[in-house]
Amino acid sequence: MKKSFVLVGIASLVLALIGSVQPVHAAPLVALSTIQPGDLVRGVAFPAVYYYGRDGFRYVFPNDKTYFTWYNDFNTVKWISDADLAKIQIGGNATYRPGKRMIKINSDPKTYAIGAGGTLRWVTSESVAVALFGGTWNKQIDDVPDGFFPNYKAGADILNSADYSPVGETANATDINTDKGLKAPFYIDIFNNNFGPSTVTIAPNTAVKFVNKDNTKHTATSNDLSWGTGTLEPGGNFTRYFKTPGTYTYFCSYHPEMTGTIIVQ
């Protein structure tokens, strides 16, 4: 867990490089309530651009090369206040759009094509690379810093041109929501000193969004203290993924009589 937060933090710093290629202009701010899944957003103080996912998280573009596999320019970026940007949790890093380019890292001699969801597909020979990406295949490779390689996952090797279609992969990855398989979160409202619903059953890898609709502070804190929302002021919210099957019980630190259960199966 700590490692993932470190990587995201590094990515946020690296993303500032994108600002050097953005046009500088004073854009009108839009309300956070108008932001929709799939929007590109940025704040005022820093030039970093984020993808607003269907799960309610914002996703970091580690560098400009990653960004430009998905977009041609910054014309659709929506500006929001820094305070509103801070209300959107960071969910991780965006990865290259499948089929657009190949990548490698200095510590690994292999060249990879990208499959769905940031899957690394080793291009096993030059002849395969030529068949897939043409005679200029070696000019379609980007170096990815070692620190960002954990954003990707291993996939099947590409032994021949029939194993991978750059055009098909790109066509299937219509947007980052689709590529990452992001879904809307399951909502648990906090109101009248209750969690509603107090017991829920969800599938693995589902995001749960706790929303404080009460007029006082609350938390959702794991009984074993392994996770928690922190203090949620009235109107505040917090989203967490529950990826592993099991039963997760929690309570409110301010009102211990408030309890809830999340069953992941």
Per CATH, domain 186-264 is 2.60.40.420: yes
Taking the alpha carbons of 191, 192, 195, 199 in that order, is the dihedral positive or negative?
A: negative
Q: Residue 106: what pLDDT?
A: 83
d(CA 60, CA 76): 16
Q: Residue 168: what pLDDT?
A: 98
Please give the average per-residue pLDDT across 27-55, as a whole number. Answer: 95
pLDDT digits (tens, 9 = 90+) for 165-197: 999 999 999 999 999 999 999 999 999 999 999
Specify the pairing of strand 153-154 against strand 40-42.
Answer: unpaired
Domain ranges of the chain: 2-93, 102-180, 186-264
Specify the pairing of strand 102-105 against strand 108-115.
Answer: antiparallel
Q: Own/partner pairs for 73-76, CB < 8 Å, 24+ apart?
A: 74/22, 74/23, 74/40, 74/49, 76/39, 76/40
